[in-house]
Chain A
Amino acid sequence: MIRAENITKRYADHTALNDVSLHIPKGSLYGLLGPNGAGKTTFLRILNQIIDPDAGQVLLDGRPLQRNDIARIGYLPEERGLYKKMAVGDQSLYLARLKGLSEAEAKKRLVYWFEKLGMETWWDKKIEELSKGMAQKVQFVTTVLHQPEVLIFDEPFSGFDPLAAQQIRAEMLELHRNGTTLLFSTHRMENVEEMCTHIGLINKSRLVLEGSVADVVRSHRTHRYTVAYQTPDGSPLPLEATAPFHVVSDDALPSSDWRTGRSLCVQLTANEGLNHVLSALLPHTDVLEAQESVPSMNDIFIQTVQNAAS
């Protein structure tokens, strides 16, 4: 859907983006990750034609981005606000008309969204009369109102109050299910895995990692597994000597756990699997649970950055 090719953007005193190329597939929920100051906002501004890149280009459906493509894109910037003294309805209409909607059509859609999010009574209220969470809902509605094919959110979860953030998240997932392409940036890696289909990691103005979440995780597999098993008194099985695999650790379950047993961490080779562990354990003990230890996005990010540095 969107393809960025060799985007470079320099400011007077630093380079914000250095030869960044990435691909946001149609219908994906794309997470653009990276620490503060990595260049995420600059990239999103370039996609929205707020600023132009010094080099490189952005392709939308295979052809260079044009001015009237703004009607196909919805953008909620990190620095987001509304006119404090303007009524909610008036300013929602205004923003919708700027995106190219007719007044009648905008009104119709606003009524739909206001009903959906329980905002029916807000129409004549001024923004300064609303709470922060309420204002954030209005911002969300005005961003999605013109039914853009691509939605771009800059740090959508920071600054939102938790309840509103939860609701926004649910709406984002629904939009994604309905086929909208979503792109959002965040510097917090938690929960990104469950939500995104694709991710891109930006660090110090360079793209360091990109792909579908499945591919990224697969390529960062460590073949490490954790297995919880039961022992009557909590003492370990004598695995070290006999087991056909490398034991990384074998600790008592944490005291908070209601079961008595041990948590075993093992390292396998690429062509071994969980069965390999289970078949060795099952004759001697009851297995309580077993799973592959998948590195979190945060781990992957730190590892990638460290690898790049060394």
Chain B
Amino acid sequence: MNPIWIVAQREFLTRVKKRSFLIMTLLGPLFFGLLMVAPALLASLPEGPKKLLVVDHSYLLVGEKGMEDVVYEFLKPTPEALANGKEILESNAEFDGLLYLPPSENNDPDYILKNAKLFSLEDLPISLMAGVEDQLEQKAYEQKLRLEGVDPEVVKRAETNARLTSVLMGDAGEEENSPAEFKMILGLAAGYLIYIFVFLYATQIMRGVIEEKTSRIVEVIISSVKPMQLMLGKITGIAGVGLLQFIIWVGLTAALYAGLSATVLADAFNPEVIAQMQAQPDSGGMAAEVLSALQSINYPLILSAFLFYFLGGYLLYGALFAAVGSAVDAEADTQQFMLPLTLPLILALLVSMRVMDSPDSSLAFWFSMVPFTSPVVMMTRIPFGVPYWELGLSMVLLVLGFLGTTWLASRIYRIGILSYGKKASFKDLWKWIRSDQ
């Protein structure tokens, strides 16, 4: 049997058999999901409404009882009201703050708002402040309209909402709904996932190499297989782990999706309902758009491109991470070599934020061609549609890229794994690359 294959088998099996793999694989999607939902969940945790004392000399808030999370309690606006209110606030824990709206001789809303104050003993939530401010603005706005002799009700009736549906005209003349926001999210998520995956698995290669070096088994092994074979076997085996994990994740997500759409979302995904919702301009417009966007995306293309760019990026960086692992004695020493490897990846992430806005810019083009950044940047572009020749060129360059880095890495690796004790520098690495042995 080919020794690369035997090495790959070991790398694969020892990792897949670990309990942490099982846990990560099964709980991974749940964990990621939670990570995305958690902030929203936390924000929506029910908390008792805050109670504000209100001293309203200008009668701006007359008739208001508060909002969802704020309850107003009005004090009679006597000249001593502010002092009294402060006393109550200090002595009575029931109240969280005191809202003070000063008197204004000519009822000028701008003057009132400029001098309005909110007293409190502790910091109040920003959302509460913002809510009160919004309400005050709304009240001042209505007040101003009235001062101008306009009925606010009239203005409200005149308000309209415009929503453009962007339609891409394809070459064949077919038209495609193109909800840009959704593509942005999808593209960014895909790019980000590639980034995480490449990092996660390339680091595993590096750790594996360091483990073999520190446990001193590496020389035993390379008396049986060539260093290059050991390195390639390791990279292949760990790629298998990544692929397996990815496939299980996709499978789990698809199953979850199928399960959900069969039950909870059954209505939402019914085309008739979607059409209905789209017909109603206001109520369900946005939701329906997202749903139809979900269905208009070319998932097979995205999935296969994801697999390709994950593998390509992983192989490109994995080989270099293996070289870094071979050059050091302990993981703590890797930092100086890691920097030049992590920089392009982080740069790719930054660029992909810009690429979301203009997926066809020359910035987007070049960064999706350079193999060091193309896995992340191209994945961000793909949901928007990329010409096939660009996709093809980028893929070819990526393949050439990882062949190049693998060659380079193997030159460092074969010497690095036998070098103990001495801390290698970039100069040493360069010497190793050039040396015959």
Residues of A within 8 A of B (CB): 12, 45, 48-52, 54, 67, 70, 73, 75-77, 79-86, 94-95, 97-99, 139, 142-143
Contacts and interface: CB of A to CB of B under 8 A. Distances in A.
Nearest to A99: B224
A75 B211 contact: no
A98 B3 contact: yes
Contacts of A86: 14
A75 B220 contact: yes
A84 B217 CA distance: 10
B436 interface: yes
A30 to B, nearest CB: 18
**Chain A at the B interface: SS class:** loop
Contacts of B211: 83-84
B437 A51 contact: yes
5 contacts: A80-B217, A81-B215, A82-B215, A84-B215, A94-B10
Interface in B7-43: 7, 10, 14
Interface string B219-232: 11111111000000
A94 B6 contact: yes
Interface of B: 1, 3, 6-7, 10, 14, 211-212, 215-217, 219-226, 418, 420, 431, 435-437
B219 A80 contact: yes
A98 B431 contact: no
A7 to B, nearest CB: 13
Given A54-B436, A81-B216, 9 more contacts: A50-B219, A73-B223, A80-B216, A86-B14, A94-B10, A97-B1, A97-B6, A98-B3, A98-B225
Given A52-B437, A79-B420, A81-B215, A98 B221 contact: yes
A82 B219 contact: no
A79 B216 contact: yes
Contacts of B420: 79
A197 B7 CA distance: 38
Contacts of B219: 50, 77, 79-80
Given A52-B436, A94-B10, A98-B6, A83 B224 contact: no
Nearest to B214: A81
A95 B222 CA distance: 10
Contacts of B224: 70, 95, 98-99
Contacts of A98: 3, 6-7, 221, 224-225
A80 B216 CA distance: 5
B275 to A, nearest CB: 58
A50 B222 contact: yes
Contact of B215 (A50, A76, A83, A142): A83
Contact of A70 (B212, B223, B431): B223
B323 to A, nearest CB: 18
Of the listed residues A12, A97, A142, the one surrounded by the most CB atoms of chain B closer than 10 A to its CB is: A97
Contacts of A97: 1, 6
Q: Which 9 A-B pairs have the closest CB atoms?
A: A81-B216, A98-B224, A75-B223, A77-B219, A81-B215, A48-B223, A79-B216, A81-B217, A51-B437
Contacts of B220: 75-77, 80-82, 95, 139, 142-143
Contacts of B418: 45, 50-51
Contacts of B216: 79-81
